[in-house]
Structure 1
């Protein structure tokens, strides 16, 4: 509501006071005549004049206060009208940081596998390594060769397989004394399997002194591995040159061809072109 409609102006207040003064009983004609004869001032008029001034100043002051105070309150900056809830919220969000506080560095090597899958995988790798070490130790004791350096993959992983069924053969001799491999004696027509996945480099019915023989080139544990299978029975080869084979795949049958006096498999292993003891290599990698 506008201020002019709520409060009288100063001029209006003064007019009201003057009107009251004129109508006062002390200002009658009789009183004025007496005052002129005696030369005295009318008592009521003498009293009312100072009162009128006081009333005017009082009314003006009240009017100024009534107009100025609401206007000042409306002109107060909004940011000063802060409630207790707002102050509490500001304090609650305050943060004090120590001048010398530093973040702890994260070291990548300080943490290891944490998921169940990673933990199981780690346990399996450790168990495989332990089996490889035990197998290498056993093979070394039985053959007289240190085969620990032959381990290329975890034994039992399936990457390396025995070329003959387990329990079907006996080792008559192995690497050494001019002999390049291991002679694994067993009955004729015993199945022969690829010891590792690879590509057939040789497949022949007359491969030098090996008679019917097969050679497979593989990569095992990041190393170039070549395996040779000799003295097979004629006409039993199951692979051709250039063919890709899997570990454990049938490649032929045991015989006594070439420089041989009995049915057996002559098995050779080379790692990066160097002959290694075959029985120890099988124990270290096939399990």
Structure 2
């Protein structure tokens, strides 16, 4: 159900967001926002990854076309007002978490904290051949979907609620042209979102996977080991 207005999560300017939202929607979106969750990386401000979740306002739609139009306008209005994704779509509670790739399709390479020029590695790399499918690790809504985000390359970011906490998952270095979701879309765990690639700053093809909780990028592996069921 669509109820409110929305904002993406890595930085400003996500692709796939409908432009031209009205001033009235922007004002309503700003008035409805209350709490927010911000997840940032340990890198410079230009490399920050942000995820925000807030209560929704209320919109009325009846047909699938009206619902989609409401969602698009709400997302655009919230972005224009600098508001969180959760003000436009209901951020779902993720009651089941899975690995982002199927067993046997990947191997683990660089992990959390590995050395990177000027900073630490903020996620876990899943090495795999170009074209290997990537799935959403949990139920959530897309806050970023872009063909290029600095060193991350083709990137998708999804917002979820897990154990009462705002959780942002990041999927990077995807192959060009394979993104299957756009900002404002909501997905189920296991849903296909794109293919492994080698875009951005990376050696070899892999999925770079990050988990952000309460403004902090955490080691995804212990978290996955605890939550995957």
SS in 1 for 2:212: strand
Where structure 1 has 5 or more consecutive residues not aligned to the other structure, the ranges are 1-156
Richer in strand (by share): 2
Correspondence 1:277 to 2:214: no
Per-residue deviation, 1:200:
0.4
Name which of 221, 226, 251 aligns with 2:168: 226
Tell me if structure 1 keeps the 8 A contact 2:95–2:162.
no
Tell me if structure 2 keeps the 8 A contact 1:164–1:191.
yes
CA RMSD of aligned residues (A): 1.4
- Work out the CA distance in 2 between the residues paired with 1:244 and 1:204: 16
Spell out the pairing of 1:133-212 with structure 2 (5 A cutoff): 159-176=96-113, 177=115, 178-212=120-154
Q: Using a 3 Å threshold, how does the CA distance of structure 1 residues 245 and 251 change in structure 2: closer, same or farther?
A: same
Higher CA-based Rg = 1
SS in 2 for 1:173: coil
Give the TM-score, by structure 1 length.
0.44
Spell out the pairing of 1:1-287 with structure 2 (5 A cutoff): 159-176=96-113, 177=115, 178-287=120-229
Alignment match, 1:152: none
- Work out the CA distance in 2 between the residues paired with 1:246 and 1:258: 27
**Which runs of 4 or more aligned residues in structure 1 lie more than 6 Å from their structure 2 counterparts after TM superposition?**
none
Give the TM-score, by structure 2 length.
0.55
Alignment match, 1:87: none
Tell me if structure 2 keeps the 8 A contact 1:211–1:259.
yes
Which string of whole-angstrom CA distances, capped at 9 and with x for unpartnered residues, describes residues 152-172 of structure 1? xxxxx9611110111221111
Per-residue deviation, 1:260:
1.3
- Work out the CA distance in 2 between the residues paired with 1:199 and 1:160: 14
Per-residue deviation, 1:233:
0.5
Higher-RCO chain (CA-CA 8 Å, sequence separation at least 6): 2
- Work out the CA distance in 2 between the residues paired with 1:253 and 1:183: 14
Richer in helix (by share): 1
